[in-house]
Amino acid sequence: MTAQASRQDALTLLFFLLAAFAFLLRSTISPQLMNMVMSYSTEGGSFPEKLHIGTYAIFLLLVVIATTRPIRLEGDEVRLFKATLLYSLLLLWLVPYLFVIGRAGSAGFIIDSYLVSCAAAMIMLALGDHVRRALGNVIVGMIVLSAIIGTIEAVTQHRFLPYPLVELDFRPIGLSAHPLALGALCTTAIGFVALTRWRIWVCALCIFLLFIGTAASGARTALLLACGEILFLLVFLPWPDLSPRHQRQAKLLVLMLTLAGGAILIAILFSAGLLNRFSNTLFDQNYDARVKIYDVFKFVEWRDILLGMNPNELLKIVNEKLNLPFIESTPVVLTLLFGLPIALLFAFAFFRFLFKLLRNTPRAAHIAAAASILAALSNNALSSKAPDIMLLVILLLAYRKPDGRQTGTPLQGQPASTAT
């Protein structure tokens, strides 16, 4: 091995460790921990305080990678880089627009959730296939660990991280900021576990732990999605080394065993008290709050709907007119913060970017992404400073179908596009 190759391998390892650290920093440091040292999600403080420390780390790492090594893109990576760059430019236009119209506070979640996802995507594209997959494994492992911690919290009725909200029923948070976030992330990770190259028993154990973590979180929508996701993975994923006839027979047998084992597991979870939120009905106060929030349009003017309004005024209306403490609806937040035309443009650009990422990904990634978006729409993950979008982007890039080429450096004799 030449000195140049050794240096390149050392740099690749260094960037892998730095990327893993930055991604985990953004994912595991909750707003509650950030508020202990700065006014991150509380009132007051300067705008730089409103951005997560992990966001700064990811942007800094992207600058370091871009200035210390050429970013060489091959094949489908060129299309993905262009899609990411185009989406980033739209977000970079939206942020100063919010400053100009006096809604700088709304720019925080654009940077902390969406723009940082673009930066993470560019970091992933700058690294080789093996490094991307390793980073995906790190993220999946982190979510599995969060599920384990959440399950322990549910059993011991004690949280390891600070959580300021007072709830009638105890719900764990694991390494996330909210019980619903824990459930949504566990549901997202289930589909991507199937794309790892771990042993089959390790994958089965991880999916089991993620399912238990989802149940322990009390996130009912996420749990229903997790059940459907597991069934879809069993039915629609191809099983290699088996003929179509043998695949159907094997899938039917495994499906029957899964349904039987699932029924027993649900009974055990009910007896352990982890499914208490299912004991009455899905249509409780939380459901009513998610429906009632749309009554806010009765108390705003058409000008507010078309051009947007101040977030503090919006929250005041929700608190005083609807008697709701929070806004757990992404359509309401985006429409009344940006105005309907810009909200529609924002949603179109986001889903266009997501579909670009889904192209050339395995079927399991499509199932996981659908479950992730549906779970996020059941809370405010798409309209708050949450890492959910960034983690989904990282996992989609990590487990793409291989292009049949080596990784790390461009192949000799093959066309490569140098982005930087």
Distances (CA, A) of 182 to 153, 255, 370, 377: 12, 27, 17, 14
The encoded tokens of residue 272 equal 């352990």
- Find the DSSP H helices in 272-378: 285-292, 302-307, 311-321, 330-338, 340-358, 363-377
At residue 283, the pLDDT reads: 59
Which residues is 418 bridged to in the sheet? 72
23-37 per-position pLDDT tens digit = 999 999 999 999 888
At residue 414, the pLDDT reads: 36
131-175 per-position pLDDT tens digit = 999 999 999 999 999 999 999 999 898 999 988 877 777 889 999
Average pLDDT in the 186-211 region?
Answer: 94
Residue with tokens 């757990």: 328
At residue 278, the pLDDT reads: 66
Contact in structure between 193 and 200 (CB atoms under 8 Å): no
The CA distance from 177 to 188, in Å, is: 16
At residue 413, the pLDDT reads: 32
pLDDT at 325 over 70: yes
pLDDT at 405 over 50: no
Half-sphere exposure of 343 (CA within 13 A, CB side): 20
Q: Which stretch, 187-201, 303-317, 370-384, has highest mean pLDDT? A: 187-201
At residue 403, the pLDDT reads: 63
Percent of the chain with pLDDT over 70: 91
Q: Three-state SS for 408?
A: coil
Residue with tokens 């700058």: 126
225-268 per-position pLDDT tens digit = 999 999 998 888 777 776 777 777 777 887 788 888 878 888 88
Q: Which of 210, 217, 222, 206 is nearest to 275 (CA)?
A: 217
Query: Which positions ≥6 away from 394 have C-beta within 8 Å?
Result: 23, 120, 121, 124, 135, 136, 139
pLDDT at 416 over 80: no
Contact in structure between 385 and 113 (CB atoms under 8 Å): yes
At residue 173, the pLDDT reads: 92
At residue 202, the pLDDT reads: 94
The CA distance from 334 to 378, in Å, is: 15
At residue 387, the pLDDT reads: 94
What average pLDDT does the chain have? 86
Q: Three-state SS for 418?
A: strand
Average pLDDT in the 302-328 region?
Answer: 84
417-418/72-73 β-pairing: antiparallel
Average pLDDT in the 318-339 region?
Answer: 85
64-116 per-position pLDDT tens digit = 999 988 778 888 889 999 999 999 999 999 988 888 887 777 788 899 999 99
The CA distance from 203 to 222, in Å, is: 20
pLDDT at 347 over 80: yes
pLDDT at 376 over 60: yes
Specify the pTM. 0.89
Distances (CA, A) of 51 to 24, 31, 281: 16, 10, 38
The CA distance from 343 to 94, in Å, is: 11
Distances (CA, A) of 141 to 86, 196, 219, 242: 31, 11, 21, 29
Q: Which of 48, 88, 137, 111 is nearest to 349 (CA)?
A: 88
Q: Is the four-CA dihedral 169, 287, 307, 350 of positive or negative sign?
A: positive
Q: Higher confidence at residue 227 or residue 403?
A: 227
The encoded tokens of residue 53 equal 């420390």
The amino acid at residue 11 is: L
Q: Higher confidence at residue 280 or residue 61?
A: 61
Burial 296-332 (b: 16+ CB within 10 A, else e): beeebeeebeeebbbbeebeebbeeebebeebbbbeb
pLDDT at 269 over 80: no
At residue 101, the pLDDT reads: 80
Domain coordinates in residue numbering, the chain? 84-279+385-400, 285-359
The encoded tokens of residue 195 equal 């794309």
